[in-house]
Every structure is written in structure tokens, then in C-alpha cells.
């Protein structure tokens, strides 16, 4: 298996190093994006199928999760680009999307083509992969 070198992160992600000194790098990164896009957090959580209260707790770091799909769902619902999603995953200490894995490959392709959350889940099911799930799994 090919290991990702630290220099590869710069190609896969979007300026993550700016946030590394922060006490809450994921939170600060996501809030910057949400603010710059003029999005409404409650609407993002609704689209992701996450309760508003739990979504806020994840976003602000009051709760943590081991569920990468939950972080992906929030990012997709906020209409993040692939590099932004990879950055969010990195800042949350989650594995990056890796195209060698069939499910990740479908996710990457869907994100690149700006598919919505429902369409992504349909593509996953069509390819015998598990849908994105937002079930809670705390750290």
C-alpha cells in the first residue's frame, strides 16, 4: 500500500496548515467556509440528516465522532469542494478519501461533479456500497 507523504497533503488539501495552530482547527476551518459561502448552519445539518443540536456540538467540538461519514455528510451538505473536504477530514484527524477504495472513488467522483447528498447515496447503493450514515459514534 502506498503511504501518503506529508508533501502530498498540500496537493490534496486546501491550506490546512493555516489552521494547525488553532485550538479548534476543524471548527475554525468549517466556520470560515460557512461564513464565506453565506450558508446557514441549521440548513447544512438538515441536508446532512443530522439533528441541529448534535450538528452544532460536532461543529464546535463539544462532541467528537469516529464516524467519518458524519463529517463527510456535513461537508457535502455545505457544498465543499473535494480539496476542502480533504482538508476538513485532515483537520478532524480522519482518513482522507482515497480513490483506490471503491466507495471512496464513488464519493470523490460524486463530489467533483457536485452531486447532492441524496444522489451520492443513490450512486453508492447502485454500486453495492454502504450509504453515508450519520449515526453517532463518539470518541
Query: What gap in Å lies between CA 139 and CA 136, rounded to an integer?
Result: 10
Give the CATH number of domain 13-126; options: 1.10.260.40, 3.40.50.2300, 3.60.20.30, 1.10.8.870.
1.10.260.40
pLDDT of residue 1: 39
Alpha-carbon span 75 to 69, nearest angstrom = 10
- Please report the pLDDT score of residue 71 as a whole number: 97
pLDDT of residue 12: 57
**Cβ atoms of residues 85 and 76 within 8 Å:** yes
DSSP calls for 6-38: HHHHHHHSSSGGGGTTSSSHHHHHHHHHHHHHT
- What distance in Å separates the CA atoms of residue 16 and residue 115, rounded to the nearest whole number? 24
| 113 CB burial (10 A radius; 0-12, 13-18, 19+) | exposed
- Averages of pLDDT over runs of 10 residues in the chain (139 residues) are 45 69 91 95 95 96 96 96 94 94 96 94 97 71
> Can you give the pLDDT at residue 137?
52
Amino acid at each position: 500500500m502506498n503511504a501518503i507523504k506529508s508533501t502530498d497533503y498540500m496537493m490534496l488539501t486546501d491550506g490546512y496548515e493555516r489552521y494547525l495552530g488553532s485550538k479548534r482547527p476543524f471548527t475554525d476551518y468549517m466556520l470560515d467556509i460557512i461564513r464565506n459561502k453565506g450558508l446557514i448552519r441549521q440548513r447544512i445539518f438538515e441536508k446532512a440528516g443530522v439533528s441541529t443540536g448534535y450538528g452544532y456540538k460536532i461543529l464546535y467540538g463539544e462532541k467528537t465522532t469516529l464516524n467519518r461519514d458524519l463529517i463527510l455528510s456535513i461537508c457535502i451538505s455545505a457544498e465543499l469542494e473535494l480539496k476542502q473536504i480533504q482538508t476538513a477530514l485532515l483537520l478532524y484527524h480522519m482518513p482522507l478519501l482515497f480513490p483506490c477504495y471503491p466507495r471512496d472513488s464513488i464519493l470523490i467522483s460524486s463530489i467533483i461533479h457536485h452531486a447532492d447528498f441524496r444522489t451520492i447515496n443513490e450512486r453508492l447503493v447502485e454500486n453495492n456500497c454502504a450509504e453515508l450514515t450519520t449515526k453517532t459514534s463518539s470518541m
